[in-house]
Amino acid sequence: MSRFAWSTVCVLVAVGLILALVENVSYQACLLAGLGACYVALLAAGSLVPRLDFYLHAVRRGPADHPWVALTFDDGPNPATTPLLLELLQRERIPAAFFFVGEAARRYPDLVARAAADGHLIGNHSDRHGYGWAVSSAEQIFAEFAAASRTLAGILGQPPRFVRTPAGVSSPHLADALQRLQLRNVAWDVRGLEGVYRDPERIAAWVARRGRNGSIILLHELYYGVCHFKPGQVLATAQLTIERLRSRGFHFVRLDRLLEQPDHAAVSSDRNTSLETGALLVEKGAGQAMGYCDVATIASRAGRAG
């Protein structure tokens, strides 16, 4: 039972008690109005704050056993930024995750294909990156995310397994839609706040300070529909974030591998059955190809970064 369902039951019980126990009509009206306002505020907070897990659970970080973090980028593909990021990630030998918007993917399918060919994970970031779906019907919500999955499947040959809703927005019908599409809902525990800080140095410092073992790092290709964050800033932010996190001893692991480590998968009820036993896709040193490493080898090399 979700927190939304529990809250609704509690509110209905409270309404019943007010009606049964409060005889003064004006007191009764005040209490009901106050309760209604609190309930509406709770619904809004549940929709806008992923960490509340109000309507459904969103994964925010992986296991904290090793100093591994996953780098993720939202809002592409975009010809001004995606190629820059792909070149950077290839240079740095880092496997990342791109949460692509369906309608942008239809415009730039080559960028989607290139990102996947480079070894990055491709996720669903809705079809139009709007927010109206959050207050629409179950079928409209399903259609919004189904269209993006269909587009990505048409380009990649298989549908995405992970979804991140725009800004992490949620709604009462979202869980059903994602279940039907077999999409796992992923949020983040550290985000760049590019729209607030603007300066790549400050953004990278902010992210590096908050990074922990298992962190899912959210950076943006562009703030969707907002042009104040330039491609050069996107690239510099990613580069500096990588440097800062590495200087703290973190290694970059692809999102799906971070979440599906064998020790974590053993206690995870929704692990993916395609997990390669004992192998993780991780970054490797300069001059080496990105690839699969033995978990024990990585773990023995890696100290705990906190």
Part of the chain binding Zn ion (CB under 5 A), chosen from 18-26, 41-49, 218-226, 270-278: 218-226
Write the DSSP string, 119-169. T-EEEE--SS--SGGGGS-HHHHHHHHHHHHHHHHHHHSS--SEE--GGG-
Based on CB atoms, which residue is closest to Zn ion, 68 or 229? 229
Instruction: State the nearest-atom distance from the C-beta of 124 to Zn ion, in Å.
Output: 11
* 151: phi then psi, degrees, rounded to nearest 5: -60, -45
Instruction: State the nearest-atom distance from the C-beta of 285 to Zn ion, in Å.
Output: 32
Enumerate residues 56-85 that contact Zn ion by CB under 5 A: 74-75
Binding flag, residue 283, Zn ion (CB under 5 A): no
The alpha-carbon radius of gyration of the chain (Å, integer) is 21
Per-residue mark of binding to Zn ion, 224-243 (x: CB under 5 A): x-------------------
Choose among 196, 205, 279: nearest CA to 243. Answer: 205
Binding flag, residue 192, Zn ion (CB under 5 A): no
Looking at 66, 74, 173, 256, which residue is catalytic?
74
Select the residue whose beta carbon is closest to Zn ion and give its number. Answer: 74
Instruction: State the nearest-atom distance from the C-beta of 139 to Zn ion, in Å.
Output: 23
Binding flag, residue 168, Zn ion (CB under 5 A): no
Instruction: State the nearest-atom distance from the C-beta of 165 to Zn ion, in Å.
Output: 8
Residue 228 CB burial class (10 angstroms; 0-12, 13-18, ≥19):
exposed
Distance CA 78, CA 100 (A): 9
Q: Positive or negative CA dihedral for 226, 126, 77, 122?
A: positive
Distance CA 289, CA 96 (A): 15
Q: Is 125 a catalytic residue?
A: no
Sequence letter at residue 30 = C
Q: What contacts 301, CB < 8 A, 6 or more positions away?
A: none
Instruction: State the nearest-atom distance from the C-beta of 74 to Zn ion, in Å.
Output: 4
Based on CB atoms, which residue is closest to Zn ion, 161 or 191? 191
Number of chain positions touching Zn ion (CB under 5 A): 4
Based on CB atoms, which residue is closest to Zn ion, 165 or 215? 165
Q: Is 74 a catalytic residue?
A: yes
Binding flag, residue 200, Zn ion (CB under 5 A): no
Choose among 45, 47, 255: nearest CA to 141. Answer: 47
Binding flag, residue 166, Zn ion (CB under 5 A): yes
Positions annotated as catalytic residues are: 74, 220
Residues that bind Zn ion (CB under 5 A): 74-75, 166, 224
